[in-house]
Structure 1
């Protein structure tokens, strides 16, 4: 089966698919029909740009599932003004209501995040969603255990990151690791995948920005993320071994409080060239 099927009756020979292909494997025949030679087909990254961008629906990528048409009427609601306000109003949420998020809602969030960009369209991101309170507590305790080890093994680092203060606070009942969040979403890839950290960080950032649209809030669980990267025992708690590397960890739930003002941020530092 060839890579592309062209509806010759619909194709106008505009060549937009040729220009859109990120790996430049599509060419135009003498009769203005797009094609991919047999020797170039293996270079296809299955991004779907060629089919997605065709204004006449004249091109079908034979190795991709049926595509859903973009609903332009929905995009009219997205303006530079309201999306800028949405971005600026985003807050890192560290106080959550004691209420679980329905599994279907979390599934929808993660389903949308599938569309975050990945290097060469590899789509290697994977997720662990932790909703069991005992497991969340176990992870928090595991981070504290790792911190105690680091206080002895690397006191300079431990001092810089205030590990002693964090351990003391946790043992006094203040969950400074997972913030009593009802859910954790942990992102990882295969360790052998060289751009996993970049891909998963992009996807997790998309996820965190998406949460308020569902009435949810989130915050990066930095201590948990780092401990999962360096502690094999802690990684086993979420069912991972050394063939996988954790790149992100977010606390997720319904925000306990609302915010009413936007704090100022430093001016963007840009070199215009």
Structure 2
């Protein structure tokens, strides 16, 4: 089966699909019909831009599932003003209600995150969602154990990141690692995948921005993320070995408090050219 099916009655030969193809494999025949030659088909990254951009629904990508039409009536609510306000009102949440998030809600959030961009449309992101309180506690204790081991090995790093102070606080009963979050969402890819860090960081950022729309909040669990990158023992707790590398970790739950003002940020530093 060829890569594309063209409805000749609907196709106007506008060539928009050719312009949209990120790998430039679509050509126009003499009779103004888009096509992909057999030798170029293997370069397709399955992004679906060609089918999704066709204004006349005249093109079908035969290697992709049926596409749902964009519901334009839903997008009328997205304006520069309200999306800017949404972005500005985002806060990192470190205090959570002692309440679990429904699994179906977390599934819906992660399902949406599938649409975050990835390098050459590889879609290699994977996730571990930790909801078991004992496992979350075990991960926090594992980070503290890793910090203790790092203090004599890399004192400069330990001092810069205040490992000694964090260890002391944790041992006093203050969970400075996972913040008593009811859930952890940990993102990873295969270690051999060269752009995994970029792809997963983009996806995790999408996830954090999505959370408030579901009444949830999140915060990057930076210490956990770093420890999972360097401690094989800690990775085993979430079922991973050296074949995989962790790139993100977020604490997720229902916010305990509500914010009413937006703190100022530094002016953007831009070189206009």
TM-score, L = length of structure 1: 1.00
Q: Deviations over 1:174-233 (max 9, x none)?
A: 000000000000000000000000000000000000000000000000000000000000
Matched residue, 1:129? 129
In 2, the alpha carbon distance for the partners of 1:233 and 1:134 equals: 17
In 1, the alpha carbon distance for the partners of 2:247 and 2:156 equals: 24
Deviation at 1:76, TM superposition (A): 0.1
Q: Secondary structure at the match of 1:67?
A: coil
Deviation at 1:26, TM superposition (A): 0.2
Q: Deviations over 1:96-120 (max 9, x none)?
A: 0000000000000000000000000
Deviation at 1:60, TM superposition (A): 0.2
In 2, the alpha carbon distance for the partners of 1:19 and 1:244 equals: 36
- The correspondence of residues 122-161 of structure 1 with structure 2, limited to 5 A, is 122-161=122-161
Deviation at 1:57, TM superposition (A): 0.5
In 1, the alpha carbon distance for the partners of 2:121 and 2:132 equals: 33
In 1, the alpha carbon distance for the partners of 2:41 and 2:157 equals: 50
Which structure 1 residue ranges, 5 or more long, are not aligned? none
TM-score, L = length of structure 2: 1.00
Deviation at 1:89, TM superposition (A): 0.2
Matched residue, 2:63? 63
Q: Deviations over 1:235-273 (max 9, x none)?
A: 000000000000000000000000000000000000000
Deviation at 1:155, TM superposition (A): 1.1
Number of matched residues? 273
In 1, the alpha carbon distance for the partners of 2:156 and 2:240 equals: 29
Q: Secondary structure at the match of 2:187?
A: strand
Deviation at 1:152, TM superposition (A): 1.4
- The correspondence of residues 53-202 of structure 1 with structure 2, limited to 5 A, is 53-202=53-202
RMSD (Å) for aligned C-alpha atoms? 0.3
Q: Deviations over 1:79-98 (max 9, x none)?
A: 01000000000000000000
Which structure 2 residue ranges, 5 or more long, are not aligned? none
Deviation at 1:156, TM superposition (A): 1.3
Q: Deviations over 1:15-59 (max 9, x none)?
A: 000000000000000000000000000000000000000011000
In 1, the alpha carbon distance for the partners of 2:130 and 2:163 equals: 24
Q: Secondary structure at the match of 2:236?
A: helix
In 2, the alpha carbon distance for the partners of 1:145 and 1:268 equals: 39
Q: Which moved more, 1:230-239 or 1:153-162?
A: 153-162
In 2, the alpha carbon distance for the partners of 1:10 and 1:177 equals: 58
- The correspondence of residues 36-51 of structure 1 with structure 2, limited to 5 A, is 36-51=36-51
